[in-house]
Amino acid sequence: MSGDPFNRLDPTNWRFFQSYHSWFRSYLMIIFLKVMGYVLRFFHLGSGATWPGEVFLEFYHRPLVYFIPKFKEGIIFVAGTNGKTTTTSMIVSLLEKSEGGKIVTNDTGANLLNGVISACINAYSWSGNTDFDWGVFEVDENSLPSVLMNVQCSMPNEKKIVLILLNLFRDQLDRYGEVDAIARKWEKALRMLPSHAQLILNADDPQIAYFGKSVKLKTHYFGINQKENYLKIKDHAIDSAYCPNCWNSLTYEGIYFSHLGIWRCDKCGFKRPPVANINIKSHLPGLYSLYNLYAAYLAGAAAGISKEDTEKTLSDFKPAFGRQEEVEIDRKKVKIFLSKNPAGFNASIRAVLDLKPKAILLVLNDRIPDGRDVSWIYDVDFEIVPPIVSVICSGDRVYDMVVRMKYAIKHWNNETMKQLMVEEKLSDALKRGLSMLNKRETLYVLPTYSAMLETRKILTGKKIL
């Protein structure tokens, strides 16, 4: 009678029952959470990008263990202070156009653990079937260790695991602490990855490049080789000027921005690793865009996409929301450059100034996604803004920004000082900026994260018209 499926004492049958019961319970949970997401979106209570995952976390200690094995081909994670959303969007475009199939991604920008889980829940079919080919997720730098903890025990060897580390800058110090603290957490987490995982690292960032030396995994490096683009004057926002191997001061042949450049340690000999030779033409402005482009290129190679398909897709790529996104209103353009920390702000300013702007709108908020402490604006090189550019300040901390700008432009004369304007209300600031332009000219907006979302809402809702 041991083979009788109705024999409740049969251990084989009992294991099946337990397995089925566990699957059915999880299925009901996921369907409930999918409905929750739809309700939140329907009643405009949110995008449903985090709450389903937050609830799932209450019931599962390692929640991604349930989803990760369901990806047929593999999973790609993108982490770093700047460039996560754009790089993730590039990789998704590559996989969709070259590989096809079902790509699961957190394209809403919800990059904490609950956002990654929510993306998986939203992709889950109503019938309970999973037809996932690739998972491509941007991951918040402080959440990366908790995400990688789920990968260690849940990813079969035949499936690909690719981790892209873009950079580490000082960002939201009141939440994350200094760059070195994040780097130590990352190094510990990387040691938990399976031996078949691949790393794609930014060789121009010393902290990131060091992971290739300290963690024994297959590693690919990307970086910029353009001596003509070295900064003539160093950024104030240099966040990692010491050798991560011996803590001696680094020597730079040249710097592209912040602490990213061609570096070496004269004490221990650790130096910038050789990088992949990548040559892609891109319409994206700003030297920093090349880092995102090169990282996506190597991710495509790791996924098995041909060089020709990769180059074609990336050369035609359009920016992710809020990252050099362009909106047209009354035949005038508004271009948004998310600027949420000193290094990112400096890169945005230089990219915008290269485009010869007539007017720039700076929007500073201090909400939870931005960080409460705004003292970092004194590490931004606003001094390079010339007096021929009109500067409008807005946001929750508009007067902090105005004071900072007054220090920066104290060399302007009384006439050019009139180019600095204040608008407390963001919609009024956008109106004013657009009123200063002729047809086909562009207003450049440099907002912090929550300000970027607010700017997009106003523009796409046409509330300023």
CB-based contact 256:249 (threshold 8 Å): no
- Look up the CATH number of domain 47-315: 3.40.1190.10
pLDDT tens series, the chain, 465 aa: 344 433 334 444 434 434 444 656 677 777 878 787 777 767 666 655 677 877 888 877 777 877 888 889 999 999 999 999 999 999 999 999 887 778 999 988 888 988 898 898 888 877 766 778 999 999 999 899 989 987 766 566 678 999 999 999 877 655 666 788 899 999 999 998 988 999 999 999 999 999 999 998 999 999 999 888 888 766 655 767 889 999 999 999 999 988 999 999 999 999 999 999 998 887 787 788 899 999 999 999 999 999 999 999 998 887 766 678 888 898 999 999 999 999 889 999 999 999 999 999 999 999 988 888 999 999 999 999 999 899 999 999 999 999 999 999 988 888 888 899 999 999 999 999 999 999 999 999 999 999 999 999 898 874 443
DSSP string computed for 384-414: G--TTSEEEEESTTHHHHHHHHHHHTTTS-T
Handedness of CA 305, 319, 237, 257 (dihedral sign): positive
The torsion angle over the Cα atoms of residues 182, 183, 187 and 193, rounded to 10 degrees, is 60
Q: Give me 422's structure tokens.
A: 């204040």
CB-based contact 295:302 (threshold 8 Å): no
CB-based contact 337:347 (threshold 8 Å): no
| CATH topology assigned to domain 323-460 | Protein-Tyrosine Phosphatase; Chain A (3.90.190)
CA–CA dist 358, 444 (Å, integer): 9
What residues contact 241, with CB distance under 8 A and at least 6 apart?
A: 249, 250, 259
CB-based contact 84:166 (threshold 8 Å): yes
Residue appearing with tokens 């992710």:
320
Q: Give me 353's structure tokens.
A: 């100034």
Which letter does DSSP use for residue 165 in this model?
E
Q: Is 290 left (phi over 0), alpha (psi -120 to 50) or beta?
A: alpha
pTM of the predicted model as reported, rounded to 2 decimal places: 0.84
Domain ranges of the chain: 47-315, 323-460
DSSP string computed for 2-60: TT-TT-TT-HHHHHHHHHHHHHHHHHHHHHHHHHHHHHHHHTTS--SSSHHHHHHHHH-
